[in-house]
């Protein structure tokens, strides 16, 4: 069952395929919030997340003809959104010419000995780690799927997730046991 059901989904999709503007807007209205939420959890800024929303729905309007009705509509749109958000991260990294940004920032943050809430801790993670945590633990993607979207290996995704959880544990004040 779709997490975000849309009324008359089949007929809306059929009309959207014909280029019907009202149907395309109906798709946008049905999924704009979950797409923005996913984008904002992965991207660094509100502006980046808004750009991802635009790029995602432009792609949806362009390629709705390729959507196979047997799959989940939200699943299809979510994969487009996740790919666009990861693409935005990569682009920002190149733009900043700072490949070690995540590493450096996370080391700085580890020195900050304060207990913070989960929202703030998530925000403090490096972009790649945060993206992996969100896609795996919240959106339910497998490491193989994340690896494909990121152009990395499943081992990379696994180690990023482990590293992120070690840091979240520390920042949330949950002392390591044993």
Partner 1 sequence: MTHLTMEQLLALREPGVEPGTAGQRAHLEQCDTCRLERDRLEQRAARLRALPTLRPPRDQWPRVAARVNTVRRQRRIRWMTAGAMALAASLALALLVRRPAPAPSAAAPAEQLSSLQQRSRALEAAIGAYGADARVLDGRTSRVAADLEDRIAEVDQQLERTELAAPPGMGGADLMQLWQERVGLLDALVDVHVTRASNIGL
Residues of this chain that bind partner 1 (CB under 8 A): 19, 21, 24-25, 28-29, 32-34, 36-37, 40-41, 46, 49-50, 53-54, 57-58, 61-62, 118-119, 122, 133-134, 137-138, 143, 158-159, 161-163, 165-166, 168-169, 172, 174, 177-178
Residue 169 CB, nearest approach to partner 1 (Å): 7
Closer of 28 and 67 to partner 1 (Cβ)? 28
And the tokens for 61? 């309007």
Closer of 86 and 161 to partner 1 (Cβ)? 161
**What are the residues whose beta carbons fall under 8 Å from the beta carbon of 149, sequence distance 6 or more?**
79, 82, 83, 86, 135, 141
Residue 106 CB, nearest approach to partner 1 (Å): 15
Q: Cα 97–100–104 angle (5° rounding)? A: 125
Q: How far apart are CA 144 and CA 167, in angstroms?
A: 23
Residue 128 CB, nearest approach to partner 1 (Å): 16
**Which residue in 87, 92, 79 sits closest to 31, CA to CA?**
79
């Amino acid at each position: 069952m779709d997490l975000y059901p849309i009324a008359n989904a089949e007929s809306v999709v059929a009309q959207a395929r014909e280029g019907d503007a009202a149907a395309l807007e109906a798709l946008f209205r049905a999924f704009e919030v979950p797409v923005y939420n996913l984008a904002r959890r992965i991207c660094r800024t509100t502006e980046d997340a808004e750009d991802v929303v635009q790029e995602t729905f432009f792609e949806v309007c362009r390629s709705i003809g390729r959507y196979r009705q047997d799959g989940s509509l939200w699943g299809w749109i979510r994969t487009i959104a996740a790919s666009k958000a990861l693409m935005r991260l990569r682009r920002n990294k190149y733009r900043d010419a700072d490949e070690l940004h995540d590493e450096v920032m996370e080391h700085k943050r580890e020195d900050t000995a304060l207990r913070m809430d989960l929202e703030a801790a998530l925000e403090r993670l490096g972009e790649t780690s945060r993206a992996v945590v969100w896609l795996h633990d919240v959106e339910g993607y497998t490491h193989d799927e994340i690896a494909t979207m990121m152009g990395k290996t499943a081992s990379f995704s696994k180690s990023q997730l482990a590293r992120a959880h070690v840091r979240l544990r520390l920042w949330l004040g949950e002392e390591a046991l044993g």
